[in-house]
């Protein structure tokens, strides 16, 4: 259920900065990290045998049929561990990640006070986006905008009436952008509490335009207040981030490879 959308506005402009050696996360901020997975892989983070992944992550990497998917998954998890380790003052391999009951990764409960750090990861092909905050809920999604001949058919299956109408009214590349704007917003909301696609996307109204939106998400465990932002991640790629009221978008860092903490053979300058 939606609670009062704001007026039409652009995707949140992100001033991407170089990754710091020791990022500092404010209590009321959500930091974003944009990651070039091919760059991470080239720096040594795409090989499961050399990466800081744990046993379960290595097992999952081994199940990918195509090498590029294994490489991107491994690089994304390597980057995530490096980022979390930078905030926590730990080596990437020392970051303990567990899977919550609904399948959402989180810091292991054995981490004590550090487990209060929330994170979410999304990747599309060789591009990844990580969100980090001191408290949840927190969800992020990223997509490469690409031609979608079936965009309207997919919208009719997964979107609500006004979202479908917006996609239907757009043509060509504008329709593709409208579809992915709405889809990333839905994914960010659904991922924020870990329910994912166990909740039908057509039951969650997020809008097919990019304005910031406060909403009440009717999750299975109860109503969850959220604030939703659409993001221009880079040319040809858009994303969305959903977080708790009172949280603001904080720093935005871009990682192209070897400057990421925790990569084998790589050090921050």
- Contact status, residue 156 vs residue 148, Cβ threshold 8 Å: no
Residue 207 domain-assigned?
yes
Residue 6 domain-assigned?
no
**pLDDT tens across 178-229, in order?**
999 999 999 999 999 988 878 899 999 999 999 999 999 988 888 999 999 9
Residue 169 domain-assigned?
yes
Decide: pTM greater than 0.75: yes
**pLDDT tens across 62-80, in order?**
999 999 999 999 999 999 9
Residue 37 domain-assigned?
yes
Q: Which domain holds residue 97?
A: 17-254
User: What pLDDT sits at residue 13?
Assistant: 65
Tokens of 193: 């509490």
Give the CATH number, domain containing residue 181: 3.90.470.20
Q: How many angstroms separate the CA atoms of 66 and 77, rounded?
A: 17
Please compute Rg for the chain using Cα positions: 18
Mean pLDDT of all residues belonging to the chain? 88
User: Which of the four pLDDT bands, split at 50, 70 and 90, describes residue 100?
Assistant: confident
Number of domains in the chain: 1
Residue 267 domain-assigned?
no
Residue 5 domain-assigned?
no
User: What pLDDT sits at residue 268?
Assistant: 30
Label the pairing between strands 17-18 and 248-255.
parallel
- Examine the pLDDT at 248 and tell me if it is beyond 80: yes
For residue 27, the tally of other CB atoms under 10 A from its CB is: 9
């Amino acid at each position: 259920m939606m609670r009062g959308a704001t007026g039409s506005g652009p995707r949140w402009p992100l001033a991407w900065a170089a990754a710091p050696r020791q990022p500092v996360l404010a209590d009321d901020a959500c930091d974003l990290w944009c990651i070039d997975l091919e760059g991470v892989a080239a720096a040594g983070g795409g090989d499961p045998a050399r990466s800081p992944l744990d046993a379960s992550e290595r097992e999952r990497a081994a199940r990918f049929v195509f090498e590029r998917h294994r490489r991107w998954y491994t690089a994304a998890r390597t980057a995530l561990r490096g980022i979390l380790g930078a905030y926590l003052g730990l080596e990437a391999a020392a970051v303990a990640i567990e899977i919550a009951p609904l399948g959402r990764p989180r810091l292991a409960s054995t981490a004590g006070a550090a487990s209060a750090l929330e994170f979410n990861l999304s990747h599309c092909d060789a591009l990844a986006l990580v969100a980090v905050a001191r408290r949840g809920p927190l969800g992020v999604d990223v997509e490469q905008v690409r031609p979608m001949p079936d965009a309207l058919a997919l919208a009719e299956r997964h979107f609500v009436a006004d979202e479908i109408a917006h996609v239907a009214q757009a043509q060509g590349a504008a329709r593709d952008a409208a579809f992915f704007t709405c889809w990333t917003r839905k994914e960010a909301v659904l991922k924020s509490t870990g329910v994912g696609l166990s909740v039908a996307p057509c039951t969650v109204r997020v809008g097919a335009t990019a304005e910031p939106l406060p909403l009440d998400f009717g999750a299975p465990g109860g109503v969850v207040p959220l604030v939703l932002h659409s993001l221009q991640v880079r040319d040809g790629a858009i994303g969305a981030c959903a977080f708790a009221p009172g949280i603001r978008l904080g720093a935005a860092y871009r990682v192209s490879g070897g400057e990421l903490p925790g990569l084998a053979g790589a050090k921050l300058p």
